[in-house]
Structure 1
Amino acid sequence: MSFKPSSVFPCNPSTARGVSTKLDATKGKIAYANGRTVIIRDLNDAALTTAYAGHVQNTTVARISPSGYYCASADVTGTVRVWDTVGEDRSLKGEYKVISGRVNDLEWDGESKRIIAVGDGRDKFGHAFMMDTGTSTGEISGHSKTINAVAIRHQRPFRAATAADDALIVFHTGTPYKYEKTIKTHTKFVQDVRYAPSGDLFASVGSDSKIFLYDGKTGDTAAEVTDAPHKGSIMACAWSPDSKALVTSSADCTVKLWDIEARKATTTWTVGSGVDNQQVGNAWSGESDIVSLSMTGDLNVFDPRIGDKPARVLQAPQKAVTAAAGPIASDTFLVGTADGRVLSYSTAANASTTLSGAGHSTLVSGIAASGDTLCSVGFDDHVREIAPGAKEYSAAGMATTTQPKGVAIATDGTVFVAEIGGVEAVRSNQRVAEVKTKYAPSAVAATGSVVAVGAEDSKVRLHEWDGKALKETAVLEGNKGVVSALSFSPDGKFLAAGDSMGRIVLFDAAERKMITGRWSYHSARINSIAWTADSKHCASGSLDTHVYVWSVAKQLKNIAIKNAGPGGVNAVVWVGGDDKTGRLASAGADGCVHMWEVTFHA
């Protein structure tokens, strides 16, 4: 047995209200940060994504060098890592501690040799350094509060502009970079500053809803753009490749395209309304793709030549993936996230879509699928049915008695919810049965009319469902910790039980006895178990970041996919395949879905 990585479905950028999120764009791709992961995403094919997980703290910004060979990314501790974008190993060029706090933005010079990083430090708010040695190339000074953005002129003579919460823009000459003058145009926080590719102008935008243009060489104020102003804070701006147009994104939920020579707004796109649709970041990729970021993490792709609405909306998780189920169809599966969303993934379209309708308000703790019956449970103490086709929720949902730990579906469509203190049976959003237990349920699985309930006492109890009540029929023992994951094989013959100690016990469901307890290569809690369609292999995902694929016929053989998910693997799902090969999806703390091609027989 063997495996190889196939593709990555990326997470979307993390956002915070009132904070500008920096995006970078180059040659049809955009770069951004989420958690400890840096994403370089292809706008036309999500499967061509690069996910970099070299940081040990949450990342804040990433920018690709003008040469395209390197990416510089920074985190909340003031550390900048410069790494290779060419090749699969993402080799590290250098790691530098540049300031004592969060880095809000960084920028490359036109020669891909020097970097300026700015943010919130105790002794200084910015640092200019060489990308290969980390040696200083000047001083970034003149601000009294956190710097939000930096821009560098890519042509000689080099110039740099920084924008901060003190409502000031500081103009620097270089290299080495040194203070030249302070520009007082804005009256509130300056959120973004960007140089035009030509180097003739740079622009600034701020919380005062104003846009200013400046001479790229001298820093003199050239003009204020006053036509059709935004009605809210402007969080980001980006230039077109020909330097003739500027795009701005605002908290008033609009994106505006400006003709710089005429100083006029040529197009206004309204994304929606409310906090969720506030625009907090943008980038201009290629000749026509304008990308603007919503508070929800949605990446709205606009084409100035087409219509008054986004040409595409790229949806993906912003938070950790906590549950998964599938396949719903030959190429479709569902994932749930820590912020309450459920998304449908299509491997054929290489895309993901957030389910519409009344979803969960907090962490999704379980998703189950059986035929046309789909449902999810969450820490908002609700079970919610998903409409066939996996595009939307079918109803408002039903409140559970206590917090759900897991969910499973029997052959007759009855939904079983394992909760603190009991198990509920639900059908059509109506409670049809409830069992109070002396033990604390921690996981649930179902096949046919048999329902298995894992517990915190390390035991698995089998029940028979007659359509009206659950009757306990057997107790299975062999696990050494809290039973954290349960899964029946599709043919109903086997039951795999994973526990908090990293051990998986394989049971014969019909004979009600242990087959093996030697699947114990994981070193931390088992979060998910998934079977192949032929019931010959199962995969497990664990908090230890690894995925293992096990064989029923050859129980001592396994495939170890090490470091499959930075921060831990919370869900595994098989999506298609046959008796020789399989496609496995794994997801977890990084919010990305990683696809693997698994070969069962050489």
Structure 2
Amino acid sequence: MSFKQIALYPCSPNTVRGTSTKISASKDKVVYANGKTVIIRDLKNAALSTAFSGHAYNTTVARFSPSGFYCASADITGTVKIWDTIGEDQSVKGEYKVLSGKINDLAWDGESKRIIAVGDGREKFGHAFLADSGSSTGQISGHSKVINAVSIRCQRPFRAATASDDNSIVFHQGVPFKYDKTIRTHTKFVQDVQFGPSGDHFASVGSDSKIFLYDGKTGETIAELTDSPHKGTIMSCSWNPDSKSFFTASLDCTVRLWDIETRKSLQAWTVGSGVSHQQVGGVWSGINDLVSLSMSGDLNVFDPRTGDKPTRILQAPQKAITAASPTSSSTFFAGSADGRVLLIDTNSTSPSNAVQLVGGTLHTSLVSGMATASSGKVFTTGYDDQIREIEGFTYTPASIPSLSQPKSVAVASDETVFVAGITSVEAIRNNQRLFELKPSYAPSVVGAGGLVVAVGGEDKRVHVHTWNGNTLTETRVLPESQGTITALAVSSDGALIVQGNSAGKIALYHSQTGEPIPTRWDWHTARISSLAFFPALSSPPTHVVSGSLDTNLYVWSLENISKRVLVKGAGPGGVNCVIWLGDAHVTDGKKTGRVLSAGADGCMRVWEVELPGK
């Protein structure tokens, strides 16, 4: 074992205001799209989630096959990929270009053999094809505008319904699928249409806040559900496995459960208020879990048998992870490009406690830096030009504005916080600015260990300073690098400095003398984004971990410079931050350490890595 992935904490679904987001479920797992990644999220234990990164373009929708063995996912270019959900290698079984534009929805037939893809296109808005060969299995026609949703009756005789921005639903007979009739019950965009598992009925919802029920075999309209209606656009509907009820999710921030026999609203849940709590998607998972999706990316899990609130709320970042810092051997904070900061507990198996959103006043834009002090306080910087402090699980009310846009943050042993901005380096303690350094070069990154503070610059050099509690004094300048210094770490005793640059090269130095330690750590092929010493708190360090834009992670040995471990593809889209979790331990008779990698895809992966040694 050189390495193995032991946990993956996934990102949330991508949401767009005013647009329905499609999510699918199989048993205790839901599947959804975010960026170029498709996530299969475990509702019981977030760490057991998996990610598929086989798309070259941004994904739009993913659907489990009824058998649960395969998943079909689609992207903005009209390409559908069918891949294995059981094996670890997630082998792609088929890849088909079916539309000329973005695909909005997919549907499998009950035999897991046929798929209909719908969306936007120049010559057609939908395509029916066989999953194993891609050959056509009918024609999807009758719409004049983009199709938003599709559903296939699971039983023979097969039927299909498509919902469109032309305010209509088209009912198709199959197989092969062909036009049967146009249903004009809605007066505005039709957002979703779903057949019940029994095939007896299907339901449609739309921007006119209306819900209609139809006969599953003939497509005849049975009724409109008017009891306690939604007050906003209804984005999705999803059926109970027993086909006796279904629930709807709406932009009025409510989720409603409907009974088929009485055509009445059985239960209603209000999730919150405001745009972030608008409900843009939903799926019925298992027997009693109703999962709805908020605009903020939160997955709200309801149980019809209990209460008027979600039984649990599953939170995660929606955007790229841009900063991370450990607080113990099993917990760490992670900050994202939208300003969210989350606390992750790797020991917790509770779906809502493993990942929690930090409370208080958050950054309003990208979190650019994060560092933990020896007292346990965590300091963060953001592109909103604020320096904030986390105590426990919440941001403290106090914050201090930075003098220039902050790029990086580090904490010295006396809990002084050093912030590297685009024009200056600031020293802050107890929310007071103690010192300001205005160098002739543009700072790009800062690192601190003991009372040694190293500042990397766009002049391709690292400037080493000592801190006496009041003033930074430059002691030496390390040799010129091949590119801008983009990552920097100082060992906890201040004895060693490791630097990474924009050319993908890593160099190691003695901080007291400035002498280089020969390493030839030049195996990365793109910008180094993050570096960390191991062990993080004790000295002397024995290993260094590096993460890069080339998506790879390396663990380097300080005891034997030529030894290294490569974790290929540790962060699809690029690794933005790497940190060590805890100390070394023995696994299967081998000395191992745990590394967290996080980056552009918004997912956080924990790796058990065999430590290269003598």
**Residue number in structure 1 paired with 2:588:** none
* Match 2:440 to one of 428, 438, 441: 438
Amino acid at match of 2:379: C
**Residue number in structure 1 paired with 2:487:** 485
**Residue number in structure 2 paired with 1:453:** 455
- Partners of 2:360 and 2:142 lie apart in 1 by 49
In the TM superposition, residue 478 of structure 1 has moved relative to its aligned partner by 4.9
- Partners of 2:507 and 2:145 lie apart in 1 by 57
**Residue number in structure 2 paired with 1:415:** 417
* Match 1:589 to one of 600, 604, 607: 600
- Partners of 2:34 and 2:270 lie apart in 1 by 25
- Partners of 2:493 and 2:290 lie apart in 1 by 49
Aligned residues: 599
**Residue number in structure 2 paired with 1:115:** 115
- Partners of 1:266 and 1:375 lie apart in 2 by 47
**Residue number in structure 2 paired with 1:358:** 361
Residue ranges of structure 1 left out of the alignment (5+ in a row) = none
**Residue number in structure 2 paired with 1:550:** 556
**Residue number in structure 2 paired with 1:380:** 384
**Residue number in structure 1 paired with 2:190:** 190
Residue ranges of structure 2 left out of the alignment (5+ in a row) = 586-590
Amino acid at match of 2:9: F
In the TM superposition, residue 555 of structure 1 has moved relative to its aligned partner by 0.6
**Structure 1 residues 286-318: Cα deviation after superposition (integer angstroms, max 9, x where no partner):** 001111000110011111111111111111111
- Partners of 1:321 and 1:53 lie apart in 2 by 16
In the TM superposition, residue 436 of structure 1 has moved relative to its aligned partner by 0.8
Q: Does 1:578 align with 2:584?
A: yes
Amino acid at match of 1:319: K
- Partners of 2:451 and 2:611 lie apart in 1 by 31
**Structure 1 residues 450-506: Cα deviation after superposition (integer angstroms, max 9, x where no partner):** 211001111111112222221111111252111111111233322111111111111
In the TM superposition, residue 601 of structure 1 has moved relative to its aligned partner by 5.8
Amino acid at match of 2:346: T
Q: Does 1:131 align with 2:131?
A: yes
In the TM superposition, residue 430 of structure 1 has moved relative to its aligned partner by 2.6
Amino acid at match of 1:492: G
Amino acid at match of 1:367: M
Contact in 2 for aligned 1:189/1:207 (Cα 8 Å): yes
Q: TM-score, normalised by structure 1?
A: 0.98
Q: Does 1:290 align with 2:296?
A: no
**Structure 1 residues 132-163: Cα deviation after superposition (integer angstroms, max 9, x where no partner):** 11111111111111100000000000000000
In the TM superposition, residue 207 of structure 1 has moved relative to its aligned partner by 0.8
- Partners of 2:547 and 2:418 lie apart in 1 by 23
- Partners of 1:491 and 1:46 lie apart in 2 by 36
* Match 1:514 to one of 513, 516, 532: 516
- Partners of 1:166 and 1:337 lie apart in 2 by 38
Q: Percent identity?
A: 61
Contact in 1 for aligned 2:557/2:612 (Cα 8 Å): no
In the TM superposition, residue 373 of structure 1 has moved relative to its aligned partner by 2.5
Measured at CA, do residues 103 and 187 of structure 1 come closer, stay the same or move farther in structure 2, by a change above 3 Å?
A: same
SS of residue paired to 1:243: coil
SS of residue paired to 1:329: coil
In the TM superposition, residue 396 of structure 1 has moved relative to its aligned partner by 4.6
- Partners of 1:414 and 1:223 lie apart in 2 by 67
In the TM superposition, residue 118 of structure 1 has moved relative to its aligned partner by 0.2
Amino acid at match of 2:377: T
Bigger drift between 297-306 and 490-499 goes to: 490-499
- Partners of 2:198 and 2:257 lie apart in 1 by 18
* Match 1:560 to one of 558, 563, 566: 566
Q: Does 1:494 align with 2:516?
A: no
**Structure 1 residues 8-31: Cα deviation after superposition (integer angstroms, max 9, x where no partner):** 111110000000000001111101
Amino acid at match of 1:361: T
- Partners of 1:231 and 1:430 lie apart in 2 by 49
Bigger drift between 572-581 and 207-216 goes to: 572-581
Instruction: List aligned pairs for 1:99-178, cutoff 5 A.
Output: 99-178=99-178
CA RMSD for the aligned pairs? 1.2
Q: TM-score, normalised by structure 2?
A: 0.96
**Structure 1 residues 370-415: Cα deviation after superposition (integer angstroms, max 9, x where no partner):** 122311111111111111x2x1111252211111110011122211
**Residue number in structure 2 paired with 1:180:** 180
Q: Does 1:401 align with 2:403?
A: yes
Contact in 2 for aligned 1:40/1:51 (Cα 8 Å): yes
Contact in 1 for aligned 2:329/2:583 (Cα 8 Å): no
**Residue number in structure 2 paired with 1:268:** 268
Instruction: List aligned pairs for 1:532-551, cutoff 5 A.
Output: 532-533=534-535, 534=538, 535-551=541-557
SS of residue paired to 1:397: strand
Measured at CA, do residues 92 and 363 of structure 1 come closer, stay the same or move farther in structure 2, by a change above 3 Å?
A: same
Q: Does 1:370 align with 2:373?
A: yes
In the TM superposition, residue 341 of structure 1 has moved relative to its aligned partner by 1.1
Contact in 1 for aligned 2:451/2:494 (Cα 8 Å): no
Amino acid at match of 1:266: L
Amino acid at match of 2:366: L
SS of residue paired to 2:571: coil
- Partners of 1:76 and 1:10 lie apart in 2 by 21
- Partners of 1:374 and 1:10 lie apart in 2 by 23
- Partners of 1:577 and 1:471 lie apart in 2 by 33
Bigger drift between 509-518 and 373-382 goes to: 509-518
**Residue number in structure 2 paired with 1:200:** 200
Contact in 1 for aligned 2:564/2:612 (Cα 8 Å): no
Amino acid at match of 1:446: A
- Partners of 1:546 and 1:385 lie apart in 2 by 31
**Residue number in structure 1 paired with 2:338:** 339
Instruction: List aligned pairs for 1:217-236, cutoff 5 A.
Output: 217-236=217-236
